[in-house]
Structure 1
Amino acid sequence: MCGIHGVVALKRPQQFPQQWLTMMGDITAHRGPDDSGIYVAENIALGMRRLSVIDLAGGHQPISSDDGQLVLVCNGEIYNYRELRAGLSDCHFKTNSDVEVILHLYRQYGVDCLQHLNGMFAFALWDNRKQQLMLARDRLGIKPLYYGERNGYLAFSTESKALLTLPDFQAEVCPEGLAQYLNLGYVPAPYSMFKGIRKLEVASYLLIDSQGIQQQQYWQPDFTATPQHSEQNWVQQIRQQLERSVEMQMVSDVPLGAFLSGGVDSSAIVALMSRHSSRPVKTYAIGFDTGSAGRFYNELPYARAVAQQYGTEHREIVVKPDVVSLLPKLLWHLDEPVADSAFITTWLVSQFARQDVTVILSGVGGDELFGGYRRYQGEHYLQQYRKVPAWLRHNVISPLAGKLPGDRHSKWLNTLRLAKAFVQSAELSDDERYLRYMQVFSPSQCQQLLAGDNNTSNLLQQHYRNSNASDGLWRMFDTDRQTQLPDDLLLLTDKMTMATSLECRVPFLDHNIVQLAVTIPPQLVMKNGRLKHLLKEALSDLLPPEILDRPKRGFGAPLGAWLKQELAGLLQLFINRECVERRGLLSWPLIEQTLAQHIAGREDHTDHLLALLNLEIWCQLYIDGHSAEHISETIRMSA
Structure 2
Amino acid sequence: MTLAAAVRSDFILAGGPQAAQWLARRQDFRLHGDHGGRLHLAVRGMPQQGATASGGRWLALADLIEGRLEDAAGDADGFPQKRWRGRFAYADWRDDSDAIRVFTDHFGSLPLYWYQRDGHYAVASDLRLLLDAPGVRREPDPTAVYHYLNFTCIPAPLTICRDIQRVEPGTRLTLGAAGNRCERYYLPEYPADLHGSDAQLAGELRERIIATVQDFRPHADEGWGCFLSGGTDSSSIVSILARQGGAQVQSCSIGFPEAGYDELDFARLAGEACGARPHLAQVDHHRALGLLDSVIEAYDQPFGNASAVPTLACAELGHSHRFSLMLGGDGGDEIFGGNQRYAKDKVMETFYGLPSPLKAAARALGNAVGGGNNHLLNRVRNFTRRASLPNPDRFYTDDSFASDYYDELLTPELRRQVGRDASLEFMRGLYATGSAAEPLHRIMRLDLLMAIAQNDLVKVHRACKQHGVSARFPYLDPALVEYCGRLAANYKVRGLNKRFLFKQAMADILPQEILRKRKQGFGLPIAIWMKDDAALQARVRDVLLDERTRQRGWVNPEFIEQLVELHMAGGWDHSNAIWQLLVLELWMRSHMDAPR
TM-score (norm. length: structure 2): 0.89
Residue in 1 that maps onto 2:4: none
Tell me, yes or no, if structure 1 residue 495 matches structure 2 residue 495: no
Q: 1:44/1:417 Cα in 2 relative to 1: closer, same or farther (>3 Å)?
A: farther
Tell me, yes or no, if structure 1 residue 309 matches structure 2 residue 273: yes
Give, in whole Å, the separation in 2 of the partners of 1:393 and 1:605: 29
Q: 2:217 aligns with which of 241, 250, 256?
A: 250
Compute the displacement of 1:250 (Å).
1.2
Preserved CA contact (<8 Å) 2:100 2:175: yes
Q: 1:442 aligns with which of 403, 416, 422?
A: 403
Compute the displacement of 1:128 (Å).
2.7
Give, in whole Å, the separation in 1 of the partners of 2:435 and 2:108: 19
Report the secondary structure of 2:401's partner residue: coil
Tell me, yes or no, if structure 1 residue 219 matches structure 2 residue 219: no
Preserved CA contact (<8 Å) 2:152 2:303: yes
Compute the displacement of 1:185 (Å).
1.6
Give, in whole Å, the separation in 2 of the partners of 1:446 and 1:257: 47
Letter in 2 for 1:303: A
Give, in whole Å, the separation in 2 of the partners of 1:298 and 1:246: 26
Q: 1:278 aligns with which of 246, 249, 270?
A: 246
Residue in 2 that maps onto 1:347: 312
Give, in whole Å, the separation in 1 of the partners of 2:541 and 2:181: 47
Q: For each residue in 1:121-151, what CA deviation from the matched residue of structure 2 results, as whole angstroms up to 9, or x when unmatched?
A: 1111122344431111011121111111233
Give, in whole Å, the separation in 2 of the partners of 1:360 and 1:548: 23
Range with greater deviation from structure 2 (355-364 or 474-483): 474-483
Residue in 2 that maps onto 1:376: 342
Compute the displacement of 1:301 (Å).
0.4
Q: For each residue in 1:55-102, what CA deviation from the matched residue of structure 2 results, as whole angstroms up to 9, or x when unmatched?
A: xxxxx63322256x2222211211113xxxxxxxxxxxxxxxxxxx22
Tell me, yes or no, if structure 1 residue 613 matches structure 2 residue 582: yes
Preserved CA contact (<8 Å) 1:2 1:76: no
Give, in whole Å, the separation in 2 of the partners of 1:441 and 1:476: 22
Report the secondary structure of 1:488's partner residue: helix
Residue in 2 that maps onto 1:40: 34
Q: For each residue in 1:273-300, what CA deviation from the matched residue of structure 2 results, as whole angstroms up to 9, or x when unmatched?
A: 11224111011110112xxxx1110010
Residues 530-549 of structure 1 mapped to structure 2, 5 A cutoff: 530-549=497-516
Compute the displacement of 1:399 (Å).
5.1
Q: 1:8 aligns with which of 11, 14, 31?
A: 14
Letter in 1 for 2:266: Y
Letter in 2 for 1:519: R
Preserved CA contact (<8 Å) 2:171 2:183: yes
Compute the displacement of 1:395 (Å).
4.5
Compute the displacement of 1:504 (Å).
0.7
Q: 1:24/1:135 Cα in 2 relative to 1: closer, same or farther (>3 Å)?
A: farther
Tell me, yes or no, if structure 1 residue 20 matches structure 2 residue 27: no
Preserved CA contact (<8 Å) 1:620 1:626: no
Q: 1:147/1:626 Cα in 2 relative to 1: closer, same or farther (>3 Å)?
A: closer
Q: 1:260 aligns with which of 228, 246, 263?
A: 228
Q: 1:617/1:116 Cα in 2 relative to 1: closer, same or farther (>3 Å)?
A: same
Report the secondary structure of 1:285's partner residue: strand
Aligned length: 575
Residue in 2 that maps onto 1:74: 60
Preserved CA contact (<8 Å) 1:7 1:46: yes
Range with greater deviation from structure 2 (307-316 or 328-337): 328-337
Residue in 1 that maps onto 2:49: 62
Preserved CA contact (<8 Å) 1:24 1:162: no
Report the secondary structure of 1:46's partner residue: strand
Tell me the C-alpha RMSD between the 2 structures: 2.8
Unmatched tracts of structure 1, length 5 or more: 27-35, 52-59, 82-100, 407-414, 628-639
Q: 1:579/1:279 Cα in 2 relative to 1: closer, same or farther (>3 Å)?
A: same
Letter in 1 for 2:11: H
Residue in 2 that maps onto 1:365: 331
Compute the displacement of 1:404 (Å).
6.0
Preserved CA contact (<8 Å) 2:58 2:92: yes
Percentage of matched positions with identical amino acids: 23
Tell me, yes or no, if structure 1 residue 428 matches structure 2 residue 389: yes
TM-score (norm. length: structure 1): 0.83
Preserved CA contact (<8 Å) 1:331 1:614: yes
Residue in 1 that maps onto 2:538: 569
Unmatched tracts of structure 2, length 5 or more: 1-6
Q: For each residue in 1:5-40, what CA deviation from the matched residue of structure 2 results, as whole angstroms up to 9, or x when unmatched?
A: 223336xxx4742761673854xxxxxxxxx78222
Q: For each residue in 1:500-533, what CA deviation from the matched residue of structure 2 results, as whole angstroms up to 9, or x when unmatched?
A: 1100101000011111222221122111211222
Report the secondary structure of 1:296's partner residue: coil
Compute the displacement of 1:448 (Å).
4.5
Tell me, yes or no, if structure 1 residue 325 matches structure 2 residue 290: yes
Letter in 2 for 1:311: G
Q: 1:195/1:180 Cα in 2 relative to 1: closer, same or farther (>3 Å)?
A: same
Letter in 1 for 2:49: P
Give, in whole Å, the separation in 1 of the partners of 2:513 and 2:369: 34
Preserved CA contact (<8 Å) 2:130 2:136: yes
Compute the displacement of 1:152 (Å).
1.1
Give, in whole Å, the separation in 1 of the partners of 2:360 and 2:175: 59
Q: For each residue in 1:189-242, what CA deviation from the matched residue of structure 2 results, as whole angstroms up to 9, or x when unmatched?
A: 110111211111111011123432111111222222215233223322322222
Letter in 2 for 1:552: K
Preserved CA contact (<8 Å) 1:172 1:195: yes
Report the secondary structure of 1:562's partner residue: helix
Q: 1:584/1:327 Cα in 2 relative to 1: closer, same or farther (>3 Å)?
A: same
Q: 1:585 aligns with which of 550, 554, 560?
A: 554
